[in-house]
Amino acid sequence: MDTPTLDARGLSCPQPAFLAKQKLAELKSGTLQVLLDSATSRDNVTRIARNAGWTIVEEQDAGTFRLVLTK
């Protein structure tokens, strides 16, 4: 099964959070994987997703934050 992925690494504010919000609204439910490379974007996407009722699992590997958002 393919997991929709938003690779927002290297993008500056507000793009990571804004793109994630758009994608979450489009999906409505399911799973979205978001790749980020800054703590600020990680915090912003986490906050946006949590406020929209998504659960978040975070992993960090070699400078990349991988958020798996599920609803």
Q: Does position 15 bind another protein by CB under 8 A?
A: yes
Comparing CB distances to another protein, the nearer of 3 and 29 is 3
CB 8 within 8 A of CB 35: yes
Give the position of tokens 């798996």: 68
The single residue among 28, 29, 51, 59 that binds another protein, judged by CB under 8 A, is 51
Distance CA 56, CA 69 (A): 5
Contacting positions for another protein (CB under 8 A): 1-15, 17-19, 21, 23, 31, 33, 37-40, 43-44, 47-48, 51, 63
